[in-house]
Amino acid sequence: MLEFEQKGDERGHLVIVESRKDIPFDIKRIFYIYGSASDTVRGQHANKKSEFLLINVAGTSKVKVRDGKGNEAVFCLNRPHTGIYLPRLVWKEMYDFSSDSVLLCASSEYYDPNEYIREYDEFVNIIRNLEEYVNRG
């Protein structure tokens, strides 16, 4: 989880997020998710190259992350000045969207459908093979 500096006065709040300063990558793509029902699950994939920053700029949502080794964590995004950094090769599922949810997503890469891993079993195999490769030295 990342927390960003809030500036503001009687006119309202301002949150600034800068590449390589507040997040560990240069932003090449921004997209946002809104209008998803509370029982909708988005994401359900991992990325070979892309790193992400997710911020609920309005409303709330949850993000479940899995590392392919049996570990998982759930984060509640419910404040517009906090976000979650997701490195590459992390399985992500976004869900439990409030009716006013706007989930802002910043990515380190331009969209490339070939870098998406859309089957969880394939993701686990990639992680397992990567670990075996690293352990062999």
- CA neighbours closer than 13 Å in the CB half-sphere of residue 42: 19
**Beta carbons within 10 angstroms of residue 63's beta carbon:** 23
Catalytic machinery residues: 45
Q: Are 107 and 52 in contact (CB under 8 A)?
A: yes
What is the residue-wise DSSP string for 67-135? Answer: -SSS-EEEEEE--TTEEEEE-SS-EEEEE---TT-EEEEEESS---GGGEE--HHHHHHHHHHHHHHHH
